[in-house]
A and B are shown apart, each in its own frame.
Chain A
């Protein structure tokens, strides 16, 4: 009897319980803030990316191998590179030595390296860090997905989530990837005996005060690291820095060609030893040396492409501070999938630079 009265009392109260969905925004906001406390430290300095996927053979690491497989059946077998276009994702991150190991960082440079099936060129497509994208949910890292700047993807879910995000954006399947850490990059460049590099706009370092004048010369490791970090004093800020980073990738590839690295196993091994402290490369099970050989023709022509973007606006027309892809960018993504990037470059000369 008392049991029935209890049931009835609960049933009466039940009718007065309001809709719970109004709690959702508060839950999400609180979770975001708490997750943010856990993971975010602002990456103050700039960073860099190097498509050493094509130049430097190094070992894959477990945290890279969770990238989306190029084909569902890829499984444990090495992907077959022959006769098709290839895509590689390169992320540049700038971790400071004082940061603890579990401090996640953002990517300051995101480069999609595309090689068409005919191996006629290497296209380095720079994806702006301020690009607003839908970062997909990534339960492995307790990330529920959100729309924000693309450079947060790495902080939320590491390289794997960045790869998912760029795949969602462009439709490109990745055959490999590389993470380049700014720390140690100087060592890499010094190990190569410096790299010949062209400065395309006068740049004053806000970190060291050094002024880099327009022109080509050989750069030492510390100089290149400093130059590639600069963003704040440049007229187009991050966009200029992204172009500089891609130019450096091109310079590295050029260096590899002129030094005969692509056709000399001993030189490849030496480069590998000097790069392993600053670069993590995953070629999805295939030997990086094989890959370098596969790309020996393509690397003669390196074409840089800045992904065309415009400033995003809210529904009310106010600027959001983020970038969004233009029509031309959508056409570029189509070209990536259809292996017609060469044609896209021909019709969009202003978005490209060549080395």
Chain B
């Protein structure tokens, strides 16, 4: 597989994954861009990986997990002109909207530790199994399982609390 073929096949899924991971389109684009620059420069190593796609996903995930700690993301200077027509990603709940409860799950994701969120995205969006998730997150399979169950428990607790609040306020239909 050449780099160009990889881009043609995997760039769009990678951006979707980054959006699910970060919850923010701009950050997602920066993550994808920075990751793909490194992929291009190190293509030989990437192509030699067992599953290049997993390898790249791991690079992007690490970038996301590290982005406050590591300085390299800050070096991103180039960003494409933003397409004004592109819809903004919903990152905060809109309480006037009927869809409020629907998107509650999405906004609650932002309250999780990044590692837990990554595990959820890999499981429920990417559909990976425990072993694959462990490979992407570079941790033990048991850690993946506990990570996911803890994240789900947190979400359940917060979701029911939010629903209760809304119901008491009478805005929830």
Residues on A facing B (Cβ under 8 Å): 2-3, 5-10, 12-14, 16-31, 34-35, 137, 139-140, 142, 144
Which single member of B15, B44, B83, B103 contacts A140 (CB below 8 Å)?
B44
- Once bound together, how far apart are the Cα atoms of A142 and B124, in whole Å? 34
A5 surroundings in chain B (CB, below 8 A) = 105, 159
Residues on B facing A (Cβ under 8 Å): 2-4, 7, 11-12, 14-16, 19-20, 25, 28-29, 32-33, 36-37, 40-44, 47, 76-80, 83, 86-87, 89-90, 102-103, 105-106, 109, 120-121, 124-125, 152, 155-156, 159
Contact check, B125 vs A7: say whether CB atoms are below 8 A apart.
yes
Contact check, A20 vs B14: say whether CB atoms are below 8 A apart.
yes
Q: How far is the CB of B97 from chain A (nearest CB, A)?
A: 13
- Once bound together, how far apart are the Cα atoms of A31 and B76, in whole Å? 11
Contact check, A142 vs B105: say whether CB atoms are below 8 A apart.
no
> Given A2-B152, A12-B102, A140-B44, does the pair A20, B32 have CB atoms closer than 8 Å?
yes
Nearest first, the 3 A-B pairs at minimum CB distance are: A20-B15, A10-B125, A31-B40
Give the residue name and chain of the B residue nearest to A16 (CB): B87
Contact check, A31 vs B102: say whether CB atoms are below 8 A apart.
no
Contact check, A22 vs B40: say whether CB atoms are below 8 A apart.
no
Give the residue name and chain of the B residue nearest to A11 (CB): B125
Q: How many A-B residue pairs have CB under 8 A?
A: 113
Contact check, B120 vs A9: say whether CB atoms are below 8 A apart.
no
- Once bound together, how far apart are the Cα atoms of A99 and B120, in whole Å? 50
Give the residue name and chain of the A residue nearest to B16 (CB): A17
Apart from A10-B20, A17-B19, 16 more pairs, CB < 8 Å = A2-B105, A6-B125, A8-B102, A9-B105, A13-B106, A14-B19, A14-B20, A16-B89, A19-B12, A20-B14, A23-B11, A23-B29, A28-B40, A31-B36, A31-B40, A142-B44
> Can you spell out 18 A-B residue pairs with CB atoms less than 8 angstroms apart?
A2-B155, A3-B124, A3-B152, A6-B120, A9-B105, A12-B103, A13-B89, A14-B20, A17-B12, A18-B15, A18-B83, A22-B80, A23-B15, A26-B33, A31-B37, A31-B41, A140-B44, A142-B42
Which single member of B4, B28, B80, B102 contacts A144 (CB below 8 Å)?
B4
- Once bound together, how far apart are the Cα atoms of A25 and B121, in whole Å? 28
B29 surroundings in chain A (CB, below 8 A) = 23
- Once bound together, how far apart are the Cα atoms of A2 and B156, in whole Å? 7
Q: How far is the CB of B43 from chain A (nearest CB, A)?
A: 5
Contact check, B14 vs A26: say whether CB atoms are below 8 A apart.
no
Give the residue name and chain of the A residue nearest to B10 (CB): A20
Q: How far is the CB of B53 from chain A (nearest CB, A)?
A: 15
> Given A139-B44, A144-B40, does the pair A9, B33 have CB atoms closer than 8 Å?
no
Which single member of B40, B106, B156 contacts A9 (CB below 8 Å)?
B106
B120 surroundings in chain A (CB, below 8 A) = 6
> Given A18-B25, A23-B80, A26-B79, does the pair A34, B41 have CB atoms closer than 8 Å?
yes
Q: How far is the CB of A171 from chain B (nearest CB, A)?
A: 23
Contact check, A23 vs B40: say whether CB atoms are below 8 A apart.
no
- Once bound together, how far apart are the Cα atoms of A7 and B2, in whole Å? 32
B19 surroundings in chain A (CB, below 8 A) = 13-14, 17
B37 surroundings in chain A (CB, below 8 A) = 27, 30-31, 34
Q: How far is the CB of B27 from chain A (nearest CB, A)?
A: 13
A2 surroundings in chain B (CB, below 8 A) = 105, 152, 155-156, 159
Which single member of B16, B40, B44 contacts A14 (CB below 8 Å)?
B16
- Once bound together, how far apart are the Cα atoms of A144 and B86, in whole Å? 30
> Given A2-B152, A7-B125, A24-B7, does the pair A13, B86 have CB atoms closer than 8 Å?
no
Q: How far is the CB of A8 from chain B (nearest CB, A)?
A: 8
Interface-central residue, B42, B78, B79, by most chain A CB under 10 Å? B78
Interface-central residue, A2, A12, A20, A29, by most chain B CB under 10 Å? A20
> Given A3-B124, A9-B106, A10-B121, does the pair A20, B12 have CB atoms closer than 8 Å?
yes
Q: How far is the CB of A121 from chain B (nearest CB, A)?
A: 41
Give the residue name and chain of the A residue nearest to B81 (CB): A22
Contact check, A35 vs B33: say whether CB atoms are below 8 A apart.
no
